[in-house]
Amino acid sequence: MSEKNQPISGNDLARFSGPNTFMRLPAVNALAGLDVAVLGIPLDIGTSWRSGTRFGPKQVRAESAMLRPYNLGTGAAPFDGLQVADIGDLAINTFSLSDSLRIIAESYDGILKSDVKPLAIGGDHSITLPILRAIAKRHGPVALIHVDAHADVNDEMFGERECHGTVFRRAYEEGLIIPSKTYQIGLRGTGYSADDFAEAAGWGFQQFPAHELWGRSLATLGAEIRRDIGEVPVYLTYDIDSLDPAYAPGTGTPEIGGLTTPQALELIRALRGLNIVGGDLVEVSPPYDTSGNTALTGANILYEMLCVLPGVVYR
């Protein structure tokens, strides 16, 4: 038996009981000794349509009580190789988006200085810009795997340059990511013009629209991306609205014709072996998630991300 932190077993303590941490892992304040920190960023003031992602971290943690430590699909035993804990929520300023983004970047500076890999539960997608600012400060420009219905490359919305729809244009302008190693997967929906995504493609972003992925396994695409990235540090950002609303209805800006849950698993599982330096799962909005399925799916996606981090043991 490993001496590392383990989730509380559903055979020892009823799943509807115990701490509301990710997978009922220990809640800790100190970063020392951790390999991976799961944290919540309960922010929804960067959204443009439905809100509610402020409740995302609490609900994803609640649904994660269902998860067991071993990945029967891949053989991953993440808690045998990595010391993982839940470090709680960042104390964002819910009256100020710009102040919240500053708080996120500063908090991440501290986490990354301690050599801890962050896995964030959002929150709307605006959290990823300050995260990438801190990540690039630590690692230099990173490869980016961005799974989303939307490219999030607006120049501004209502005159605001920092919100959930502008993240990856800012990241490109600020040199936080390697454009030719930025992969946008699952793009779709209606647009404002025929070339909504074209400018970002011109920067070098590699785009994989959902309709080109319908009915296909994503294992091959994932393997191609893994080879293309090589040894470069990579950040993984997963917008739950990449999935079809049939699977993940509880989100702010749903788009029909999205990825399936098995495709989500295939893609993440193919990324094993990459130098992943952090990740996030964003845009789960519990008020629109009447069955809890969206938060449950989000919890599983975070778990699958954990299972492909460097240092995971496979059985």
What is the distance between the alpha carbons of residues 257 and 186, in angstroms, rounded to a whole number?
9
Which part of the chain contacts Mn ion (CB under 5 A), choosing from 44-52, 155-163, 207-215, 237-245? 237-245
Q: Report the nearest approach of Mn ion to the CB of residue 243 (Å).
A: 10
Nearer to Mn ion, 50 or 138 (CB): 50
- Is 17 in a helix, a strand, or coil? coil
Half-sphere exposure of 174 (CA within 13 A, CB side): 20
Q: Which two tokens stand for residue 261?
A: 């849950």
CB-wise, 21 or 47, nearer to Mn ion? 47
**Cα angle, residue 257 at apex, residues 251 and 258 outer, rounded to 5°:** 55
Q: Among residues 117 and 188, whose Cβ is nearest to Mn ion?
A: 188
**CB atoms closer than 10 angstroms to residue 138:** 17
- Work out which of 239, 266, 289, 304 binds Mn ion, going by CB under 5 A: 239
Measured from the CB of residue 97, what is the shortest distance to Mn ion in angstroms? 15
User: Minimum distance between the CB of residue 234 and Mn ion, rounded to whole angstroms?
Assistant: 18
Single out the residue of 107, 61, 72 nearest to residue 269, CA to CA: 72
x/- track of binding to Mn ion for residues 112-141 (CB under 5 A): -------------x----------------
Residues found in the chain:
315
The minimum distance between CB 151 and Mn ion, in angstroms, equals: 8
Residues 6 or more apart whose CB falls under 8 angstroms from that of 153 comprise 166, 168, 169, 172, 197, 199, 200
**DSSP-assigned letter for residue 161:** S
Whose Cβ is closer to Mn ion: residue 148's or residue 304's? 148
Number of residues near Mn ion (by CB under 5 A): 7
We find the least distance from the C-beta atom of residue 314 to Mn ion, in angstroms, to be 31
> Which is nearest to 268 in space by CA: 315, 227, 223, 313?
223
For Mn ion, give the closer residue by CB, 70 or 203. Answer: 203
We find the least distance from the C-beta atom of residue 240 to Mn ion, in angstroms, to be: 8
Residue 151, CB-side half-sphere exposure with 13 Å CA sphere = 25
Near Mn ion in 35-94, by CB under 5 A: none
Beta carbon nearer to Mn ion, 135 or 149: 149
Three-state DSSP at 84 gives strand
CA distance 235 to 162: 19
Q: Which residues from 140-179 bind Mn ion, rule CB under 5 A?
A: 148-150, 152
Report d(CA 80, CA 207) in Å as an integer.
Answer: 36
Q: How far is CA 172 from the centre of its chain?
A: 18
Q: Are 175 and 59 in contact (CB under 8 A)?
A: no
Residue closer to Mn ion (CB basis): 79 or 235 = 235
Q: Which of 35, 241, 266, 304 binds Mn ion (CB under 5 A)?
A: 241
CB of 138 to Mn ion, least distance (A): 23
**Closer CB to Mn ion, residue 83 or residue 251?**
251
Closest distance between Mn ion and the C-beta of residue 147, in Å? 9
Question: Which residues contact Mn ion by CB under 5 A?
Answer: 125, 148-150, 152, 239, 241
